[in-house]
Structures are given as structure tokens and as C-alpha cells.
Amino acid sequence: MAYDSDSSDGSDFSGFGPEDLGSDVEIPLVHDELSSDDDSNDDSSESVRNDEWTSNFTTPRIDDFVERPGPNLPEGFDTETATPLDYFWLMFPVRLIAMIVRYTNQYASWKQTRTGPDTYWEDVTEPELRAFLSINILMGIHQLPQVEMYWSTNQYVGNQGIQKTMTCNRFIKISQYFQF
């Protein structure tokens, strides 16, 4: 291996060579691989010499960007008085929440027809789904190694806001069937 063992930061590392892989390994050159005898069987008139492939390159056409940059907010949306919840509703309108509820419940029903009834499942509601999404956002802000840790009784680990919003079992059950 071409590595200077005196250098502790590895800055003199120059890569691996054939001597590092062993004597039974052969490393073909890329050019040799491309111009192998297999290409000689191609009798089409469109064959291109491998050493001239760039001569056929054409620059792609890229149209100018003509849209308004930045967020496209709805008419009348006041950015001066908008709250974080107002921005949330832009990404998750009530119509989308209703669709996710419907798809989640349909998926749970379909899954149970294949695997048998899930006695712990109850159809999710729109308020529950909003709470579920909120908990997921909070979990992205305050990350813990395991989902169950948010419901820990340890005051330094658990999150009381999440615990008051939804039980751990319900959160895991919604996660199991969450679909959209």
C-alpha cells in the first residue's frame, strides 16, 4: 500500500495500486476495456470510435427561468402577521389532511383483510392526524434515538407535550398504517 506510516493525518496517502490487491488480480485499463474485441462484432454504421466519443457531444438547450422566484403565496397572505401555523396550513391544507386520513384508514382496512384484524386499530380522525403530524415535526426538532423515548417518564428524556397529545401506542399504530 502506498501510505506513509509516519504521517498521522494520512495526507501522504496516494491510493491503492495493483501491488495492494494481490498478485492474482488484474486491473484492466479503462481504454483497453472499452476497445475490447466484443466491440468488433458490432457491424452497425452508427458505431463510434471509443477515443472520439466527445466529438459527438452537443450542448443541451436550457430555457431561461421565467417564473417568479421565491415562495408563491396565495393572494392576500400577509407575511407580516402570519404565524408558523399559517405557513403550516399552506403546506398541509385541510383538503390534504382529509385525503391522508382517508388513505390511512383505507390502507389499514386493506392491510387487515390480508393479515387479519388488528384489534388495536381504530380509524384515525383529522384532529388525530394533525396531532400526529405535529409530533413528527417536534421529533425532527428534538431527536431521540428511539421513538418510545419521547414517552419516557424520565424528566430529562421524555417530552411532556408529546405525552399529553397522544399515547405512545396510538402514535406507533398510526405510524404503522400512515399512508398517502
Q: What is the pLDDT of residue 5?
A: 46
Q: What is the pLDDT of residue 3?
A: 45
The answer to whether 123 and 170 have CB atoms below 8 angstroms apart is no
The dihedral formed by the CA atoms of 58, 59, 63 and 69, expressed in degrees to the nearest 10: 150
Q: Where are the domains of the chain?
A: 90-177
Q: What is the pLDDT of residue 4?
A: 45
Q: What is the pLDDT of residue 60?
A: 85
CB atoms within 10 A of CB 132: 19
Tens of pLDDT along the chain (180 residues)?
444 444 455 556 566 565 655 555 555 555 544 444 444 455 454 555 556 666 677 788 899 989 888 878 899 999 999 999 999 899 899 999 999 999 999 999 999 999 999 999 999 999 999 999 999 999 999 999 999 999 999 999 999 999 999 999 999 999 999 998
Take residue 40 and report the three cell numbers written for it.
468488433
Q: What is the pLDDT of residue 97?
A: 96
The answer to whether 50 and 35 have CB atoms below 8 angstroms apart is yes
Q: What is the pLDDT of residue 154?
A: 95
Please count the residues of the chain.
180
Q: What is the pLDDT of residue 58?
A: 79
Q: What is the pLDDT of residue 126?
A: 96
